[in-house]
Amino acid sequence: MAPIPTSREGYHFKADTIHEGLYTEAAIESTKSPKPFYDVIVIGSGFTGLTAARDLSTAGKSVLLIEARDRIGGRTWATRSRGHYMEMGGTWVYWTQPHVWSELKRYGLDRELKQTTGTSGDLEVLQFKSRGSDPLKEYSFDGPGGYNVIMETAIYKFLDVDGAGGTKILARPYDRDFVRNIPLKFMKLTCKDRLDQLPELPQEHKDLIASMFETIGCASIDKTPFFEILRWFGLSGFTFRGWLASVDELSLKRGTTSLALAIMDESRADIVLSSPVASVIRSRTEPLTTITTRTGKVFRTTKVICTLPVNCLGDVSFDPPISPLKLAAAREQHLTKIVKVHTYTSEKLVPTFVSSLSPSKIPFGYTESDVHDSKEGGGTFSVFFGSESELDRCTPLATFRELKKILPSEFNNEKRNPKFNPKEMFWHDWTNDEFAKGAWCTFPMGWQENYLDALREDEQGGSCIFANADWADGWRGFIDGAFEMGRSSAWRVLKEERNANRASKL
* pLDDT for 334: 97
Distance between first and last Cα of the chain: 59
The answer to which of 107-111, 208-212, 488-492 has the lowest mean pLDDT is 208-212
Report the number of secondary-structure helices (H) and strands (E) in the chain. 15, 21
| 101 strand-pairing partners | none
Q: Quick check: 402 and 430 in contact, CB under 8 A?
A: no
CA quadruple 224, 225, 229, 231: dihedral sign: negative
The tally of CA atoms less than 13 A away on the side-chain side of residue 64 is 26
Q: What is the pLDDT of residue 424?
A: 93
Q: How many CB atoms lie within 10 A of CB 2?
A: 4
Asked if residue 166 has pLDDT above 70, the reply is yes
Q: What is the largest CA-CA distance in the chain?
A: 79
6-10+23-76+256-332+438-505 to CATH, choices 3.40.50.1000, 1.10.10.10, 3.40.50.300, 3.50.50.60: 3.50.50.60
pLDDT(132) > 70: no
- Domain boundaries along the sequence of the chain: 6-10+23-76+256-332+438-505, 141-245
pLDDT value, residue 387: 87
Amino acid letter, 490 = A
Q: Does residue 311 sit in helix, strand or coil?
A: helix
Confidence band for 131, pLDDT divided at 50, 70 and 90: low
CB count in 10 Å sphere of residue 458: 16
Q: What does the alpha-carbon distance between residue 334 and residue 160 come to, in Å, rounded to a whole number?
A: 26
| pLDDT for position 418 | 67
Cα angle 345, 347, 351 (rounded to 5 degrees) comes to 85
Return the number of other C-beta atoms located less than 10 Å from residue 239's C-beta: 17
- Binding-site residue numbers are 48, 67-68, 277, 384
Q: What local confidence, expressed as pLDDT, does residue 296 receive? A: 97
Query: What pairing do the DSSP bridges indicate for beta strands 424-429 and 338-345?
Result: antiparallel
The per-residue DSSP string of 138-187 comes to EEESSSTT-HHHHHHHHHHHHH-SSSSTTTTTTS-TT-HHHHHTS-HHHH
Tell me the average pLDDT across 145-159: 90
Element (H, E) at 406: helix 396-411
Q: What is the mean pLDDT of the chain?
A: 92
Mean pLDDT of 111-127: 78
- Asked if the bond preceding 320 is cis, omega within 30° of 0, the reply is yes
- Tell me the chain's radius of gyration from C-alpha atoms: 23
* Rounded mean pLDDT, 217-222: 92
pLDDT of residue 375: 77
| Binding site feature residues for substrate | 384
247 compared with 412, residue with greater pLDDT = 247
Q: Cα separation of 50 and 63, whole Å?
A: 11
- Report whether pLDDT(133) > 80: no
Q: Please report which confidence band the pLDDT of residue 147 belongs to, taking 50, 70 and 90 as the band edges.
A: confident
- Give dist(CA 126, CA 212) in Å, integer: 11
Q: For the residues 185-193, what does the mean pLDDT come to? A: 96
- Binding site residues for FAD, as ranges? 48, 67-68, 277
Model confidence band, residue 121 (pLDDT cutoffs 50, 70, 90):
low
pLDDT band at 348 (very low <50, low <70, confident <90, very high): confident
pLDDT at 230 over 90: yes
Is a pLDDT exceeding 90 seen at residue 477? yes
Which stretch of 122-131, 139-148, 165-174, 252-261 has the lowest confidence by average pLDDT?
A: 122-131
φ, ψ of residue 470 in degrees (nearest 5): -65, -20
Rounded-to-integer distance, Cα 219 and Cα 347, Å: 32
CATH of 141-245, one of 3.40.50.150, 3.40.220.10, 3.90.660.10, 3.40.50.300: 3.90.660.10
pLDDT for the residue numbered 172: 95
**Rounded CA separation 447/452 (Å):** 6
Contacts of 171 (CB under 8 A, 6+ apart): 178
Q: What is the pLDDT of residue 124?
A: 66
- Mean per-residue pLDDT for 19-40? 97
391-444: pLDDT as tens digits? 888 888 888 888 888 888 766 655 666 677 889 999 999 999 999 999 999 999
